[in-house]
Amino acid sequence: MTKQTIIVFCAHSDDQIFGVGGTLAKYAKEGYGIHTHIFSFGELSHPWLKSHISGRIRLQESIDADNVVGGKSVQFFGVREGKFYEDGKRYNVKAKIAKIIMEKKPDKIFTHSDDDPHPDHKAVNDMILQVYDKGKHKCDVYTFNIWNFVSTKNRDAPKLVVDISQTFKKKIKALRQFRSQWMSLISLMPSVYIKAIIHGIKNKVKFAEVFRKIR
C-alpha cells in the first residue's frame, strides 16, 4: 500500500465522479488517499427546497459516492453557484485551498479544465491554479472535462491516460448515488459511456479516462 495522496477540487458534488470517478476508484484500490474538496452544495438544483436542506442532501450523496470509490474524505467550501469569485473572497477560499495543499502535500491534483463551458468550472480552475502557482508545494496538476468531449486548449500538454476497465462499474455505481441529480444523470450519462469507450479504443483498453497535465 502506498502513502500517496490525491486531491480533487471541483465545483459541484457530482463533478468529481463524472470527471475522475474511475480513476479515483483505481487509485484508491492501489492505496492512494483520495480527498475531495467541493466548492458549492449546488443549491440551485433544488430551488423549491431551503438551501440548508438541499445542502444536506448533496452532502450525503457525495459521502455515499465517495464511499463507493474508496475515498477518504469529502469537504465543502459552501460558496453559492454562480458566485464563486464573490463568495471565494468572502469565505477566504484561496487561503483554505493553500492550507489544504500544504497540509496534505498531494502527489496529484485533479480539477476542472479551463475550456469547460460552465462558468463555475472555469472559476475553480482559475482559483486552483492561482493558489498553486503561488504555493511552495509542487506536484502534478491534471484537468478533466465535464460538458465537452474534446479539449480545445492545452492540446500540446502531456496526457495522463488511466485504464479504468476494472473500475468503470464503480464509477457508474457512484454516479447513481446522486439520486437528487437525476436530470444531470440523464443528460450526461450517455457521454460518460461514450467518452470512456472512445478513450479506451484509442488506448487499446475497454474503458479509459484521459486528463491534461497543466502543471
pLDDT of residue 181: 76
User: CATH code at 122?
Assistant: 3.40.50.10320
C-alpha to C-alpha distance for 165 and 160, rounded to whole angstroms? 15
C-alpha to C-alpha distance for 123 and 199, rounded to whole angstroms? 26
Grid look-up 463551458 returns: 117
Domain count, the chain: 1
* Backbone phi and psi for residue 47, each to the nearest 5 degrees, phi listed first: -65, -20
Instruction: Tally the residues of the chain.
Output: 215
Domain span holding position 131: 5-213
pLDDT of residue 47: 46
pLDDT tens per residue, range 24-62:
999 999 999 999 999 998 765 554 445 556 668 888 999
pLDDT of residue 41: 82
Q: What is the chain's mean pLDDT, rounded?
A: 90
pLDDT of residue 1: 42
| pLDDT over threshold 90, residue 175 | yes
Pairing of strands 140-144, 33-40: unpaired
Average pLDDT over residues 12-33: 96
